Amino acid sequence: MVSFGITFYYMIIYTVKDEVQPSYLTNGVKDLPRFLVTVIFAMEGIGTIMPVENSMLKPNFIGCPGVLNISMGIVVSLYAAMGLFGYYVFGATAQGSITYNLPNENLAMAAKGCISAAVFFTFMLQFYVPMEISWRNMHDYFSPKYYNIIQIIWRIIAVIFITVIALSVPDLTTIIDLVGAIFFSTLGLFIPAVLDIIVNWDDGLGCFNWRLYKNLFIMFIAVFALCSGTYFAVDNLITGSN
């Protein structure tokens, strides 16, 4: 939140000084897949909700308002505000991370430091699900008395591997597009829609099969994001490397 506040402070300063960069309502159809996969990438935190909910003492996360609705409402509001005002101020020069657009001043560096600290302390929360899945498939090969040390070593190896991948691609925007297109379009949209159809098939799909049509629409969006987003992301990687 400190970084959010500092970033908004600079955007207000740029607006007051009339240093707003020119922007356009749209960059054409060719950038639609890039926008779509970036939005899908922003959903990546949703993958930790169910596992964390299963570990809660009082998992009252559904309902009105409920933990899920409150938290997602806050997240969506922050994303929308930062995206809207960030693009208004920085326009076409907006970077993959808006902190890249901040000047090289002490206050701006503090914002970048807060972002780094937030990622450092919350990274393994986002990595909770793959760690749990992988550990269940490998813990039988080790003695129970070594479980803790093996888990620590495995997590360190995984973090180093992910860090090397991040460092090997200097263009953060392109890697966000690629990850969003390949992984979150399938895991976040397509597969949940298919599972919803399977689970509710015998009990009915609602009046006029509205649930079926809703899921088919989501599956269409997922396939479109997967194909077009992957194509443009790979094309940008090849173009950038040349």
pLDDT tens for residues 128-185? 778 888 888 888 888 888 889 999 899 888 888 888 877 777 666 777 777 777 887 8
Q: Where along the chain do its domains lie? A: 1-124
55 pLDDT higher than 80? no
Q: Residue 240 pLDDT more than 70?
A: no
Q: What is the dihedral of CA 132, 137, 141, 143, to 10 degrees?
A: 30
pLDDT for position 120: 80
Q: Residue 176's CB: how many other CB atoms inside 10 A?
A: 21
101: nearest Cα among 13, 232, 2, 1: 13
pLDDT tens-digit series, residues 9-35:
888 888 877 767 666 666 666 677 777
Give how far Cα 34 sits from Cα of 15, 46, 96, 99, Å. Answer: 27, 20, 11, 20
Question: Is residue 217 predicted with pLDDT exceeding 90?
Answer: yes
Cβ atoms within 10 Å of 174's Cβ, excluding its own: 20
Model pLDDT, residue 198 = 92
Query: In this model, does residue 101 exceed pLDDT 80?
Result: yes
Q: For tokens 């101020």, name the residue.
A: 89
Whether the full predicted model's pTM is greater than 0.85, yes or no, is: no
**% of the chain with per-residue pLDDT over 90:** 6
Distances (CA, A) of 32 to 27, 28, 82, 88, 122: 8, 7, 19, 18, 30
The whole-angstrom separation of Cα 24 and Cα 14 is 18
CA distance 34 to 56: 36
Residue 122 has pLDDT above 90, yes or no: no
What is the maximum alpha-carbon separation in the chain?
65
Category of 91 on φ-ψ map: left (φ > 0), alpha (ψ -120 to 50) or beta: left
* Cβ–Cβ under 8 Å, residues 123 and 131: no
Give residue 194's pLDDT.
92
